[in-house]
Amino acid sequence: MRELDLGPTSNPVSILPPAPNRHNGCVQQRIGRLTTTDGADIAYASIGAGRPLLYITGWLSHLQLSWELPEERAFYESLATGCRLVRYDRAGCGLSAASDRPPSMAYELEQLAGVAETLGPEPFDLMGTSMGALVAVAWTVAHPESVRRLVLYGGWVSGANISPPSVRDHVLGLVESHWGLGSDVLTDIFAPDAQATAREEFGRYQRASSTAATARSLLALSYDLDVTDLLAQVRAPTLVVHRAQDRAAPVEQAAALADGIPSAQLVVLPGRSHLPYAGDAQAVVAPIRRFLGLRSLPRGPRTLTARQTEVAALISDGCTNREIATRLGIDERSAEGHVERIRLRLGFKSRAQIAAWYVGRRDESDR
Query: 71-80: per-residue pLDDT in tens?
Result: 899 899 999 9
Residues with Cβ < 8 Å from 241, sequence gap 6 or more? 151, 152, 153, 154, 254, 267, 269, 284, 287, 288
H-helix or E-strand containing 239? Answer: strand 238-243
Beta strand ranges found along 49-154 (DSSP E): 52-56, 84-88, 124-129, 147-153
Q: What is the mean pLDDT of residues 151-161?
A: 97
> Can you tell me the mean pLDDT for 265-272?
96
Q: Which of 32-46, 60-74, 182-196 has the lowest mean pLDDT?
A: 182-196
Is 275 within 8 Å of 191 (Cβ atoms)?
Answer: yes
The answer to whether 240 and 265 have CB atoms below 8 angstroms apart is: yes
Identify the sign of the CA torsion 284, 138, 231, 293: negative
Render pLDDT for 82-102 as a digit per residue (tens, 0 to 9): 999 999 999 999 999 999 999
Whether 353 has a pLDDT exceeding 60, the answer reads yes
Identify whether the C-beta of residue 40 lies closer than 8 Å to the C-beta of residue 97: yes
As a whole number, mean pLDDT of residues 26-37 equals 86
pLDDT tier at 299, thresholds 50, 70, 90: low
Of the chain, the end-to-end C-alpha distance in Å amounts to: 55
pLDDT tier at 20, thresholds 50, 70, 90:
very low
321-336 pLDDT, tens digit per residue, is: 999 999 999 999 889 8
- What percent of the chain has a predicted confidence (pLDDT) above 90? 66
Q: Which amino acid, one-letter code, is at 132?
A: G
CB 84, CB 48: distance < 8 Å = yes
Mean pLDDT of 222-248: 97
Q: Looking only at Cα atoms, what is the longest distance across the chain?
A: 66
In tens, the pLDDT along 43-53 reads: 999 999 999 99
Residue 167 has pLDDT above 50, yes or no: yes
The residue among 144, 247, 276, 131 whose CA lies nearest residue 189 is: 247
Tell me which range, 1-5, 13-17, 130-134, is most confidently predicted by mean pLDDT. 130-134
pLDDT of residue 344: 77
Q: Residue 27's pLDDT band (boundaries 50, 70, 90)? A: low
Average pLDDT of the residues of the chain: 88
The answer to whether the beta carbons of residues 306 and 299 sit under 8 Å apart is no
Q: Which of 102, 126, 275 is nearest to 186 (CA)?
A: 275
Find the helix or strand (DSSP H, E) in which 70 lies: helix 70-80
Looking at the chain, the whole-number percentage of residues with pLDDT higher than 70 is 90
> Residue 35: CB partners within 8 Å, gap ≥ 6?
10, 11, 12, 13, 41, 42, 114
Q: Please tell me the predicted confidence (pLDDT) of residue 1.
A: 52
Bridge partners, 241 (sequence order): 153, 267
Question: What does DSSP say about strands 52-56 and 124-129: parallel, antiparallel, or unpaired?
Answer: parallel
Close Cβ partners of 130 (under 8 Å, ≥ 6 residues apart): 57, 58, 59, 153, 154, 155, 222, 248, 249, 274
Structural domains of the chain, with CATH: 2-163+224-292 (3.40.50.1820), 306-366 (1.10.10.10)
